[in-house]
Amino acid sequence: MIKIENLSRFFRTGEIETSALHHVNFSIEDGEFVAIMGPSGCGKTTLLNILGLLDSPSQGTYLFDGEEVGQLKESQRTEKRKGKIGFVFQSFNLVDALSVYQNVEIPLIYLNIRPAERKQRVDEILERLKMSHRRDHLPRQLSGGQQQRIAIARAVVAKPRLILADEPTGNLDSRNGAEVMQLLTELNQEGTTVVMVTHSPNNAEYAHRVINLFDGQIITETQTEANGNVFFT
């Protein structure tokens, strides 16, 4: 699915150039669950943004399903990620003025899905996450764990092949964090590829493979014994 070759990302402020990623190489297969770890400032989020077509590399190549996408224009990147890539953020990024139902519906509107099918898909994912009873609530009326469930519902309602999660349990207590990780595991077991940035060694244990970054470079890649039979309850 993903192949990164000799990828670098530089940021320039005036005459100062900062290297966020430096000659990074790796690949991710369809159906993998990969965790990206490393200290703050090592380039994890920059890498995730490039994988999600929110940013472009300064050098190197990014192949998605065999197609070079790293140097696409912003409008082309937007079209390419529609319906293919779902995002889960640490801060939830829900729209405060919209209900739970409307927040989850947003990706389907962008994809021009017909209203009847949108309703069916939103109803199905809210039922699966046991959040149907909150469909008319606003985000501020939900707990942190409930908000993250809705954020995941929004990420997967369009049935993307790839989910990118940036510290998905960072604002949650241990119980709600475990539930989020269980849900990501279940989605992965159903065939969705998951790439997750995390500081948590416990969260990394859910992944099949851990990529460790330091100063913008990969220093190790480790296979893990992923929790193979974890289900959301």
- Secondary structure of residue 225 in the 3-state scheme: coil
The pLDDT of 98-119, averaged and rounded, is 97
How does pLDDT run across 128-157, given as a tens digit for each residue? 999 999 999 999 999 999 999 999 999 999
- Name the pTM for this structure: 0.91
Q: Which amino acid is at 24?
A: V
- Secondary structure of residue 181 in the 3-state scheme: helix
Beta-bridge partners for 59: 8
How does pLDDT run across 188-230, given as a tens digit for each residue? 999 999 999 999 999 999 999 999 999 999 999 999 876 444 3
